[in-house]
Structure 1
């Protein structure tokens, strides 16, 4: 079994892929879920850094925080500095537990390349869709206008670049039947002997 990080830009279908991997019995350790938990745990620091309006009655208002960090790159860097070391430590602890229990496992890290994450010995799989499709999916899924969707997409590294750097590409540029074949092929690849570590 390979040690693997799965990543992909917003609107590429990474969540759909991860859901199907769980159906195949793969444990998916989600960096975003862990980040949301840690965000709440550290709500006082969030209020101190980003302002009291981002925390209401001790609860982080993620929509308000998102509006700040997606329009201010310095604010985004501050949030990353607060969360990423904690997320890394939490993911590795959970991953090593899975390995000890011999459970197939992947790390789901949406901003793997953007945050220059370092997971030594891990292969990186990218869920890929072209920008045009990302835009269509985001507008439909979130009821966003094109400008809002584009802002979110362009806050991340371009999907074409991620595809170039990947050890494995899961192509989600077609229909669901095609994606199912891509996921099945990825599962076969994942179960091969880890050649990078």
Structure 2
């Protein structure tokens, strides 16, 4: 089975692109969802996060307070490195389990991950798609969506791979600076290409 990595900087529209593949019936493994699963109450990773950063990392219902964690790790590089060393191997193992579950049932599966290229997750895929928009549009979209201020968005962007480096590593680039219809058309054409690639080179 062909494993296709789908990534993009924050605010690029990676989730919208992933949703289009899902509408076409393609299996989606969302690394963001996996990342949330591994820090649910009762998970060992959540306990270690609280031990490291304190009980303020928990909300009243005992779940991870993501806003507090985000503020902590994006304002201190050592804290971010600690968190990445904890979570990335756990997330990778969960993703591998999900990929294995689709073997033999689909020509290709999508691994949608904002950190595909920043972590070793790119080693798990056969083809890399980068959803791309200008950085000014990234900032505008994230401020509108998440109500973050410009400085917070820029810190997150700085923690990710640069736009230029992402584009250099891409096998396919999707330009998402236009509207949803344009994105849908690009995904439909790319879906045909990926199915052909899977049939020719990665038979299930």
Q: Please, what TM-score do these two structures have when normalized by structure 1?
A: 0.91
Among 69, 76, 86, the alignment partner of 1:72 is: 76
Structure 2, unpaired ranges of 5+: none
Paired residues of 2:107 and 2:195 also in contact (CA < 8 A): no
Count of paired positions: 197
Relative to structure 2, which stretch is displaced further, 96-105 or 123-132? 96-105
CA distance in structure 2 between the partners assigned to 1:139 and 1:59 by the alignment:
25
- The answer on 1:11 being equivalent to 2:14 is no
Query: Residues 93-146 of structure 1, C-alpha deviation per residue, up to 9 Å, x if partnerless?
Result: 111111232364111111111224342552111111110110111111122222
CA distance in structure 1 between the partners assigned to 2:194 and 2:94 by the alignment:
22
Query: Residues 11-35 of structure 1, C-alpha deviation per residue, up to 9 Å, x if partnerless?
Result: 0000111111111101110111111
Relative to 1, partners in 2 of residues 1:72 and 1:90: Cα closer, same or farther, differing over 3 Å?
Answer: same
Residue in 2 that maps onto 1:100: 104
Query: Residues 53-100 of structure 1, C-alpha deviation per residue, up to 9 Å, x if partnerless?
Result: 112463211111111111111111111111111111111111111123
Paired residues of 1:123 and 1:196 also in contact (CA < 8 A): no
Structure 1, unpaired ranges of 5+: none
Among 91, 95, 101, the alignment partner of 2:95 is: 91
Residue in 2 that maps onto 1:151: 155
- The answer on 1:136 being equivalent to 2:158 is no
Paired residues of 2:7 and 2:116 also in contact (CA < 8 A): yes
Secondary structure in 1 matching 2:9: coil
Among 38, 41, 46, the alignment partner of 1:43 is: 46
Residue in 2 that maps onto 1:160: 164
Residue in 1 that maps onto 2:116: 112
Paired residues of 1:31 and 1:87 also in contact (CA < 8 A): yes
> CA RMSD for the aligned pairs?
1.9
